[in-house]
């Protein structure tokens, strides 16, 4: 702990040395206000931004006789240059020559107000008087207009920068379902959700998190469906964050999750707008973070990590079977190597004689105990996987060839690994990819090693104790006030319709009970819900 | 609460540990064991699998099993002494066959079974058989075809013959011990023997030819009185025994035709019920057998298209089964005085009070017990042809 404290102290001293970016102090009110002289303002901006080359300051003269000095300031690369030229510069430099600006000036409305209300042909425009607001808007990509002789300015929103379009999400793919995924721009992302849910009750709250990055964070929920306590809780947790930077929603997730030390995720994340829309309709809250395509959804339940969006687009029967298969694969991924170690080193009596002899024959000449053997293979696989994720794509094929050698028959032929162990490790590896979300697969990956160790020292008995401990842990978790294991524990019969199996849509009358408490009805529970062919009379 | 649960769970791990951890290649997997009595000492023989020889790839052509032998005053002593010879500790968890030498069986086998039923490592569902006129070691020393591991051959042969031919009866250690304990039911065990040249039988040469020089075969049932072997049933009696104890699943009965020649009846469903009875202090047993069969083969002149003929065949079969059963009972009553059928337990079930009185002198009571046999045979199908083509052949 001492180490961390020291580091904190250092950071404190560093930040006190550099000039504070955000000036909140009441005493410094005067310094924060804009100057009356244009030149003073410009030099102040230059000082604050360290004469950064991408800050463009253009000084122009307006009015009929060009007597009014004005400055246009913007950040190159973040501003839409055509609109700057067509609508701002053109208006100011050409239109104001014919337009009698001074005549419009009244005691209530000064020149800045006249410009704003009569001249500028742009959409979003605001008056500013504070210097920190000016800097913030400037660095967000807005264009600032300052006029000599006024301690006021105008901000025109014409942000535009190069960004990735809406492409197919790569982390959660489906065979049937929408192909669009979120992008890095939070505005595009909220638009994608609005396109799916056109309810006026879909509310959006905006926040700025990160003292230096000033990242836009948006909260989305459907008012009237969402549990207000959850929204309030999310707001509070977001407000509690005081950090210099938020670069990805993962940063937020770590700062707001319920059980930071648990391997299990209590915040769901997705790249898919349809998943977010479905979650909103269930009464969850979405947290969108600017700069990342991954949107957070809370509260997140254990069962949610096994539900793919495709489950709801496919037929209910196959979706149910596939979901059961996922749970089965989850158990394999968690326990297969542990069970294999336990059975072959402690409980040989559990194997049929023919299988026992066959396994014993494979183990002849293998120099390692089964546990070490399994560890070698599992760690090799983890190395291969990690290498595969981080490597440039062009080297990928070379690695898969080498990888297949290491983990495959070569290891068996070399006599250091038994063939059965290769099979067990392979099926475990494949099973861990079955989970539709990556997060739960990570939890399984870590726990698998714990179970292998406990199996090697205590056998099946140890695995049983481990499972009891795991279930106790899972049942003790909560995500934003909702029990993590619901609707299994606490058991809720009505919510079983979408837990291990998925009933057809015409059978899903209510939203999940524990997430949502005020508007439970999805569709009226009437006989008309079930589709019926119209009767034809012969 | 959470802390207490954590402590409880981690403490419970201390109840176990890795002291009995064994890798698969540290086990001497024993599928068959034999017990003999040699000069007042037990001689234990273990047939241990050589895993690498069983697997398809690594086989070098050597024998798939190997024998380890040790003698000791007790079975347990001999069992542990075997490690003087075997590089790995004998692992009997998958034992399938226990062969007991006839000499030991005649002296009484109860003591030798005690360890096997007590040891935690052994299951008690392996078959127990008696080496007829042979040592157990000799039986385990014969190579077999089709199944590379002789123990598996013995196991499968007993299992198949038990279901397809009613002359043998697979008795597991559990069942044997129950029979030994209960008054009113004596034990039987199937005999096993080796025919042919024992010398060649022990080598690989034995299975290289089409006809093996020596082969392991099952014989008839051995009759016990308490834990001592008292004699052997004939083949017919063995089948009679299985008829009475309702252990027939599927078998074939040969009968003589009304005029001349033979016919075979395939029995597809066999159900026999024992009913004890005490009349005026005298015990009585009713055997009620319901048999369903098909006509398997007819080697005589007979008109199968008529219902009368079928009825006639049914009668003959009934008579035949009744004869066999009666003969078996007589043999058990007179020759061995051993209630192998469990008539005593049948009476116990029916009338526990009277049984308490009879229990003491059951052996004498059994010898002149009245047994009523009732057989009901129904023939259902007769295969793909009606009258035999043999008839036309004669014309």
Q: From the list B15, B24, B152, which residue is nearest A360 (CB)?
A: B24
Q: Give the pLDDT of residue B197.
A: 86
Task: Tell me: do A126 and A202 sit in the same domain.
Answer: no
Task: Tell me: do B127 and B200 sit in the same domain.
Answer: yes
Task: Tell me: do B141 and B269 sit in the same domain.
Answer: no
Please say which residue of A464, A483, A502 terminates a domain. Answer: A483
Confidence of residue A290 (pLDDT cuts 50, 70, 90): very high
The answer to whether position A121 is within a domain reads yes
Whether the pTM exceeds 0.80: the reply is yes
- Does the CB of B1 have a partner CB in chain A at under 8 Å? no
Where do the H-state alpha helices sit in chain B? 2-12, 51-54, 75-81, 102-107, 110-118, 136-140, 150-164, 173-181, 198-201, 235-244, 307-330, 343-350, 352-359, 362-367, 389-394
Judge: A361–B58 Cβ closer than 8 Å, yes or no.
Answer: yes
Task: Tell me: do B106 and B174 sit in the same domain.
Answer: yes
Task: Tell me: do B170 and B298 sit in the same domain.
Answer: no
Checking if the pLDDT of A43 tops 80, the result is yes
Interacting residues of A504 by C-beta distance below 8 A, sequence separation 6+:
A316
Task: Tell me: do A91 and A127 sit in the same domain.
Answer: yes
Task: Tell me: do B244 and B148 sit in the same domain.
Answer: no
The answer to whether position B226 is within a domain reads yes
**What residue of B is the nearest CA neighbor of A466?**
B9
Judge: A357–B51 Cβ closer than 8 Å, yes or no.
Answer: yes
Judge: A369–B23 Cβ closer than 8 Å, yes or no.
Answer: yes
Determine the Cα–Cα distance for residues A374 and B146; give it in Å rounded to an integer: 35
Task: Tell me: do B82 and B209 sit in the same domain.
Answer: yes
Q: Which residue has the higher pLDDT, A13 or A56?
A: A56
Please say which residue of A483, A500, A517 terminates a domain. Answer: A483
Q: Which residue has the tokens 């102040």?
A: A44
Average pLDDT of chain A, as a whole number: 86
Q: Which residue has the tokens 């079977």?
A: A321
Per the CB < 8 A criterion, the answer to whether A307 and A297 are in contact is: no
The answer to whether position B15 is within a domain reads no
Establish how many alpha carbons lie within 13 A of residue A117's alpha carbon, considering only the half-sphere containing its beta carbon: 11
The answer to whether position A109 is within a domain reads yes
Q: Give the pLDDT of residue A8.
A: 46
Confidence of residue A9 (pLDDT cuts 50, 70, 90): very low
- Does the CB of B31 have a partner CB in chain A at under 8 Å? yes
The answer to whether position A180 is within a domain reads no
Task: Tell me: do A145 and A286 sit in the same domain.
Answer: no
Q: What angle do CA A276, A281, A286 make, to 5 degrees?
A: 40
Compute the average pLDDT of residues A473-495: 91
Compute the average pLDDT of residues A124-131: 88
Three-state DSSP at B223 gives strand
Task: Tell me: do A291 and A364 sit in the same domain.
Answer: no
Q: Give the pLDDT of residue B61.
A: 76
Q: Are strands B27-38 and B97-101 parallel, antiparallel or unpaired?
A: parallel
Task: Tell me: do B267 and B198 sit in the same domain.
Answer: no
Judge: A360–B96 Cβ closer than 8 Å, yes or no.
Answer: no
Checking if the pLDDT of A26 tops 70, the result is no
Task: Tell me: do A337 and A462 sit in the same domain.
Answer: yes
Task: Give chain A positions within 8 Å (CB) of B152.
Answer: 353
Determine the Cα–Cα distance for residues B181 and B184; give it in Å rounded to an integer: 9
DSSP letter for each residue of A189-212: HHHHHHHH---TTEEEEEEEE-TT
Interval A140-163: pLDDT, tens: 889 999 988 888 889 998 888 887
Task: Tell me: do B258 and B376 sit in the same domain.
Answer: yes
**What residue of A is the nearest CA neighbor of B123?**
A349
Task: Tell me: do A338 and A473 sit in the same domain.
Answer: yes
**What residue of B is the nearest CA neighbor of A458?**
B17
Judge: B93–A348 Cβ closer than 8 Å, yes or no.
Answer: yes
Q: What is the ipTM of this complex?
A: 0.86
Determine the Cα–Cα distance for residues A79 and B50; give it in Å rounded to an integer: 79
Determine the Cα–Cα distance for residues B327 and A519; give it in Å rounded to an integer: 84
Determine the Cα–Cα distance for residues A138 and B242; give it in Å rounded to an integer: 100
Task: Tell me: do B217 and B315 sit in the same domain.
Answer: no
Task: Tell me: do A434 and A333 sit in the same domain.
Answer: yes
- Does the CB of B385 have a partner CB in chain A at under 8 Å? no
Size of interface A-B (CB pairs under 8 A): 89
Judge: A356–B29 Cβ closer than 8 Å, yes or no.
Answer: yes
Task: Tell me: do A37 and A152 sit in the same domain.
Answer: yes
The answer to whether position A96 is within a domain reads yes
Confidence of residue A477 (pLDDT cuts 50, 70, 90): very high
Judge: A358–B54 Cβ closer than 8 Å, yes or no.
Answer: yes
The answer to whether position B348 is within a domain reads yes
- Does the CB of B6 have a partner CB in chain A at under 8 Å? yes
Task: Tell me: do A281 and A332 sit in the same domain.
Answer: no
Compute the average pLDDT of residues A87-102: 80
Task: Give chain A positions within 8 Å (CB) of B25.
Answer: 360, 363-366
Q: Which residue has the tokens 């209530």?
A: A108
Give the count of domains, chain A: 3
The answer to whether position B4 is within a domain reads no
Which residues of chain B have a pLDDT value below 50? none
Judge: B13–A346 Cβ closer than 8 Å, yes or no.
Answer: no
Give the domain extent around A129. 17-156
Checking if the pLDDT of A16 tops 50, the result is no
Partnered with residue A156 across adjacent β-strands are: A125, A143
The answer to whether position A213 is within a domain reads yes
Q: What angle do CA B370, B376, B377 make, to 5 degrees?
A: 135
Task: Tell me: do B61 and B124 sit in the same domain.
Answer: yes
Interval A376-412: pLDDT, tens: 999 988 988 888 888 887 887 787 788 777 777 788 8
Three-state DSSP at B184 gives coil
Determine the Cα–Cα distance for residues A43 and A50; give it in Å rounded to an integer: 10
Q: From the list B12, B23, B152, which residue is nearest A465 (CB)?
A: B12
Judge: B54–A345 Cβ closer than 8 Å, yes or no.
Answer: no
Interacting residues of B115 by C-beta distance below 8 A, sequence separation 6+:
B74, B75, B76, B79
Number of helices (H) and strands (E), helices first, in chain A? 20, 12
Burial A173-191 (b: 16+ CB within 10 A, else e): ebeebbebbbbebbebbbe
Confidence of residue A3 (pLDDT cuts 50, 70, 90): very low
Q: Give the pLDDT of residue A537.
A: 64
The answer to whether position A537 is within a domain reads no
Burial B197-209 (b: 16+ CB within 10 A, else e): ebebbbeeebbee
Q: What angle do CA B26, B30, B35 make, to 5 degrees?
A: 135
Query: B145 to chain A nearest CA, in Å?
Result: 17
Where do the H-state alpha helices sit in B2-54? 2-12, 51-54
Give percent above pLDDT 90 in chain A.
46
Q: From the list B2, B31, B93, which residue is nearest A476 (CB)?
A: B2
Domain harbouring B356, CATH code: 3.30.300.210
Task: Tell me: do A199 and A139 sit in the same domain.
Answer: no
Please say which residue of B212, B232, B252 terminates a domain. Answer: B232
Q: Give the pLDDT of residue B59.
A: 66
The answer to whether position A1 is within a domain reads no
Least confident of A96-105, A212-221, B252-261: A96-105
Give the count of domains, chain B: 2
DSSP run (H or E) holding A59: strand A55-62
Q: Give the pLDDT of residue A180.
A: 92
Give the domain extent around B377. 236-394
Judge: A353–B16 Cβ closer than 8 Å, yes or no.
Answer: no
Length of chain B in residues, anyone?
395
Please say which residue of B232, B255, B284 terminates a domain. Answer: B232
Judge: B15–A461 Cβ closer than 8 Å, yes or no.
Answer: yes
Task: Tell me: do A279 and A422 sit in the same domain.
Answer: no
Task: Tell me: do B218 and B244 sit in the same domain.
Answer: no
Judge: B121–A349 Cβ closer than 8 Å, yes or no.
Answer: yes
The answer to whether position B17 is within a domain reads no
Query: B17 to chain A nearest CA, in Å?
Result: 5
Compute the average pLDDT of residues A343-360: 91
- Does the CB of B14 have a partner CB in chain A at under 8 Å? no
The CA distances from residue A288 to A83, A136, A207, B200, in Å, are 28, 20, 10, 83
Q: From the list B15, B29, B121, which residue is nearest A357 (CB)?
A: B29
Task: Tell me: do B126 and B267 sit in the same domain.
Answer: no
Q: Give the pLDDT of residue A102.
A: 74
Please say which residue of B232, B262, B280 terminates a domain. Answer: B232
Q: Which residue has the higher pLDDT, A20 or B203?
A: B203
The answer to whether position A98 is within a domain reads yes
**What residue of B is the nearest CA neighbor of A353?**
B94
Task: Tell me: do A146 and A245 sit in the same domain.
Answer: no
The CA distances from residue A114 to A118, A120, A277, in Å, are 6, 9, 43
């Amino acid at each position: 702990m001492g180490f961390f404290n020291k580091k904190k102290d250092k950071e404190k001293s560093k930040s006190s040395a550099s000039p504070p970016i955000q000036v909140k102090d009441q005493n410094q009110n005067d310094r924060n206000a804009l100057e009356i002289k244009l030149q003073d303002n410009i030099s102040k901006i230059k000082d604050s931004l360290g004469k950064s080359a991408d800050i463009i300051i253009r000084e122009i003269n307006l009015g009929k006789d060009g007597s009014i000095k004005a400055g246009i300031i913007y950040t190159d690369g973040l501003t839409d240059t055509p609109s700057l030229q067509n609508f701002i510069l053109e208006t100011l430099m050409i239109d104001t020559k014919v337009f009698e600006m001074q005549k419009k000036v009244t005691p209530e409305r000064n020149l800045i107000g006249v410009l704003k209300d009569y001249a500028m042909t742009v959409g979003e425009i605001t008056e500013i008087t504070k210097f920190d607001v000016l800097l913030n808007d400037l660095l967000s990509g807005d264009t600032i207009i300052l006029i000599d002789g006024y301690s006021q300015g105008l901000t025109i929103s014409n942000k535009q920068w190069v960004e990735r379009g809406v492409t197919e999400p790569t982390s959660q793919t489906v065979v049937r379902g929408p192909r669009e995924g979120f992008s890095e721009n939070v505005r595009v992302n909220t638009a994608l959700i609005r396109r799916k849910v056109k309810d006026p009750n879909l509310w959006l709250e905006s926040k700025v998190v990160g003292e230096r990055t000033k990242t836009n964070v948006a909260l989305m929920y459907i008012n009237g469906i969402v549990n207000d306590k959850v929204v309030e809780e999310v707001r509070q947790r977001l407000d509690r964050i005081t950090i210099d930077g938020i670069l990805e929603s993962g940063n937020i997730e770590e700062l707001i999750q319920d059980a930071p030390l648990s391997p299990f995720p209590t915040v769901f994340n997705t790249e898919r707008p349809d998943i977010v829309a479905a979650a909103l309709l269930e009464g969850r809250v979405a947290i969108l973070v600017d700069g990342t395509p991954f949107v957070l959804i809370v509260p997140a339940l254990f069962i949610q990590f096994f539900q793919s969006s495709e489950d709801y687009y496919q037929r209910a029967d196959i979706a149910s079977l596939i979901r059961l298969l996922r749970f089965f694969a989850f158990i394999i991924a968690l326990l297969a190597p542990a069970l294999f170690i336990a059975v072959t080193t402690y409980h040989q009596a559990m194997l049929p004689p023919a299988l026992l002899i066959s396994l014993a024959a494979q183990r002849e000449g293998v120099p390692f105990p089964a546990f070490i053997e399994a560890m070698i293979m599992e760690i090799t696989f983890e190395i291969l996987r990690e290498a595969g994720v981080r490597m440039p794509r062009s080297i990928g094929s070379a690695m898969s060839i080498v990888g297949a050698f290491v983990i495959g028959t070569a290891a068996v032929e070399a006599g250091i690994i038994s063939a059965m162990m290769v099979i067990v490790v392979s099926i475990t590896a494949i099973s861990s990819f079955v989970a539709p979300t990556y997060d739960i697969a990570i939890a399984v990956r870590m726990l698998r090693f714990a179970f292998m160790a406990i199996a090697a020292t205590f056998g099946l008995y140890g695995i049983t104790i481990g499972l009891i401990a795991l279930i106790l842990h899972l049942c003790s978790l909560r995500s934003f006030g909702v029990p993590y294991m619901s609707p299994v524990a606490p058991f809720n019969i009505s919510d079983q319709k979408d837990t291990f199996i998925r009933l057809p849509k015409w059978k899903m009358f209510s939203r999940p009970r524990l997430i949502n408490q005020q508007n439970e009805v999805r569709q009226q529970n009437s006989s008309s819900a079930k589709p019926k062919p119209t009767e034809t009379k012969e | 609460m959470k802390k207490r649960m954590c402590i409880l769970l981690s403490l419970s791990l201390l109840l176990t540990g890795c002291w009995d951890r064994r890798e698969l290649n540290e086990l001497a997997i024993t599928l068959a064991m034999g017990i003999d009595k040699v000069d007042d000492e037990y001689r234990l023989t273990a047939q241990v699998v050589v895993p690498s020889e069983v697997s398809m790839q690594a086989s070098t052509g050597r024998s798939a099993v190997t024998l380890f032998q040790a003698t000791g005053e007790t079975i347990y002593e001999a069992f542990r002494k075997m490690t003087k010879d075997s590089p790995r500790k004998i692992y009997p968890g998958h034992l399938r066959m226990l062969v007991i030498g006839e000499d030991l069986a005649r002296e009484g086998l109860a003591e030798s079974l005690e360890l096997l039923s007590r040891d935690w490592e052994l299951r008690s569902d392996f078959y127990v058989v008696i080496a007829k006129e042979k040592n157990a070691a000799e039986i385990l020393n014969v190579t077999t075809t089709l199944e590379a591991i002789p123990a598996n051959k013995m196991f499968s042969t007993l299992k198949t013959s038990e279901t397809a031919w009613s002359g043998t009866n697979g008795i597991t250690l559990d069942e044997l011990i129950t029979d030994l304990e209960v008054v009113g039911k004596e034990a039987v065990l199937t005999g096993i023997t080796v025919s042919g040249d024992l010398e060649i039988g022990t080598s690989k040469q034995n299975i290289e030819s089409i006809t093996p020089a020596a082969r392991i075969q099952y014989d008839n049932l051995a009759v016990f009185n308490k834990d001592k072997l008292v004699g052997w049933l004939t083949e017919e009696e063995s089948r009679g025994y299985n008829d009475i104890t309702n252990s027939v699943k599927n078998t074939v009965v040969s009968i003589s035709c009304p005029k001349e020649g033979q016919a075979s009846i395939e029995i597809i469903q066999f159900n026999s019920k024992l009913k004890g009875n005490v009349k005026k202090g005298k015990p009585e047993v009713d055997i009620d057998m319901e048999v369903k069969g098909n006509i398997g083969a007819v080697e005589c002149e007979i008109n199968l298209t008529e219902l009368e003929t079928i009825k006639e065949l049914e009668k003959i079969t009934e008579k035949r089964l009744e004869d066999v059963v009666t003969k078996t009972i007589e043999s058990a009553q007179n020759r061995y005085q051993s209630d192998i059928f469990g008539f005593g337990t049948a009476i116990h079930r029916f009338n526990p009070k009277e049984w308490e009185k009879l229990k003491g002198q059951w052996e004498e009571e059994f010898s002149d017990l009245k047994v009523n046999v009732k057989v009901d045979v129904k023939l259902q199908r007769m295969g793909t042809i009606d009258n035999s083509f043999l008839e036309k052949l004669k014309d």
